[in-house]
């Protein structure tokens, strides 16, 4: 299988040589310098596109939905608050929304901290991601928001605080605007969508995106992609690499790849930047200052690529645009503040939820 890697959400500076001839994935320089004291894991067992059989820290449940005439299953975790939390049971529910290249299980440390602080925690895998169905839909943030409301209805949750990471931040903004009565507070952790990618990235057909995703099968390319998200790689982040690579080994990978291409179109064609001033709820922005992630960055010209994903600037602009928003800037942190600066992130979020 090809080792060529063209990513739909890329970060860092272009280093084609790191991935072989013709590669265009952006890889940060620090990723290549991480000392390797142990051999990198090698995965040989395929994984189904719904992560069948992959262990979960909490029981996985499913909600059956009908989207555009197709019956689908939405996976989710419903984590009860710790009964002996020092803060007591808050009576509040926190909804965690994952990014495009992640699943709900990637929220595990944050979910554990929130539950320990007395919050009920609901963690869905959106349709098209993680353990949920991978239908060939016309994806939209409105659709995913409606699905999420249906999940809250199923769980009898009237109102939730929302934390969105990466593309989950775009969904969080849309959820808060479409369903303000269901949204308490909103936390955006290095959200993409703080710029309109259509201005600097060319539009592409779904067929082109699908073909490029089908080529994303090289383990080292996938590992380099996730390394580029962070300032310092830790073996704990390897879970994302394992899931992404093992899915490529399975017979249903083309269906996964098509869902990925279609959700790329959603993020590209449905910007939320202009909607930020319309938010009318408490908002916390947590921005890792070393992040350079952007939808479709590898498809942009070198000149435009250099302009994309400037999170120090984007975070400040977003904070100025959102009425009353609070901005926390984390130095020497990349795209995963909830993992790279876990204790600080959890402290800021818990304080925000208490205020």
For 247-288, the pLDDT digits (tens) are 999 999 999 999 999 999 999 999 999 999 999 999 999 999
Q: 68 and 136 in contact (C-beta within 8 Å)?
A: no
Give the range among 7-11, 55-59, 322-326, 333-337 with minimum mean pLDDT.
7-11
Name the CATH superfamily, with its identifier, for domain 61-214+236-241+252-354. Answer: Alpha/Beta hydrolase fold, catalytic domain (3.40.50.1820)
Burial class (CB in 10 A: 0-12, 13-18, 19+), 330: buried
Q: Is 75 helix (H, G, I), strand (E, B) or coil?
A: strand
Burial class (CB in 10 A: 0-12, 13-18, 19+), 191: buried
Taking Cα atoms as reference points, which of 209, 221, 234, 231 lies closest to residue 295? 209
**pLDDT > 70? residue 17:** no
* Token pair belonging to 255: 């269906």
- Which residues does residue 73 pair with via DSSP β-bridges, in sequence order? 64
Residue 111 CA to residue 103 CA, distance in Å, equals 13
- Which residues does residue 327 pair with via DSSP β-bridges, in sequence order? 285
Query: DSSP states of 246-307 as a string?
Result: HHHTSTTHHHHHHHHHHHHHHHHHS--GGGGGG--S-EEEEEETT---EETGGGS-HHHHTT
Give this prediction's pTM: 0.90
Residue 15 banded pLDDT, cuts 50, 70, 90: very low
Q: What are the residue ranges spanned by the domains of the chain?
A: 61-214+236-241+252-354
b/e code 239-262 from CB counts within 10 Å (16+ = b): bbbbbbbbbbebeebeebbbbbbb
Neighbours of 320 (CB within 10 A): 12
| pLDDT of res. 171 | 98
């Amino acid at each position: 299988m090809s080792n060529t890697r063209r990513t739909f959400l890329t970060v860092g500076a272009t280093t084609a040589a790191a991935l072989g001839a013709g590669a265009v994935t952006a890889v940060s320089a620090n990723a290549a310098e991480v000392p390797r004291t142990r051999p990198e894991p090698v995965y040989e067992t395929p994984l189904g596109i719904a992560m069948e059989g992959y262990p979960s820290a909490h029981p996985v449940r499913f909600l059956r939905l009908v989207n555009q005439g197709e019956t689908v299953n939405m996976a989710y975790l419903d984590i009860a608050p710790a009964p002996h939390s020092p803060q007591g049971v808050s009576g509040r529910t926190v909804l965690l929304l994952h990014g495009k290249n992640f699943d709900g299980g990637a929220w595990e440390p944050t979910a554990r901290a929130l539950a320990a602080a007395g919050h009920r925690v609901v963690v869905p895998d959106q349709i098209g991601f993680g353990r949920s169905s991978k239908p060939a839909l016309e994806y939209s943030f409105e659709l995913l928001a409606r699905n999420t409301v249906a999940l809250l209805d199923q769980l009898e949750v009237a109102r939730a605080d929302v934390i969105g990471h990466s593309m989950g931040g775009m969904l969080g903004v849309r959820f808060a605007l479409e369903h303000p009565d269901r949204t308490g507070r909103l936390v955006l952790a290095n959200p993409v969508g703080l710029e309109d990618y259509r201005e600097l990235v060319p539009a592409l057909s779904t067929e082109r995106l699908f073909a490029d995703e089908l080529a994303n099968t090289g383990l080292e390319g996938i590992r380099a992609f996730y390394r580029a998200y962070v300032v310092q790689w830790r073996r704990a982040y390897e879970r994302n690499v394992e899931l992404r690579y093992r899915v490529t080994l399975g017979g249903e990978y083309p269906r996964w790849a098509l869902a990925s291409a279609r959700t790329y179109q959603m993020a590209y064609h449905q910007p939320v930047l202009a909607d930020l001033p319309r938010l009318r709820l408490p908002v916390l922005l947590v921005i890792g200052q070393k992040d350079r992630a952007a939808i479709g960055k590898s498809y942009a010209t070198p000149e435009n690529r250099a302009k994309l994903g400037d999170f120090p600037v984007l975070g400040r602009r977003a904070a100025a645009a959102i009425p009353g928003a609070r901005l926390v800037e984390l130095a020497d942190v990349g795209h995963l503040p909830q993992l790279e600066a876990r204790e600080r992130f959890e402290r800021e979020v818990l304080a925000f939820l208490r205020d």
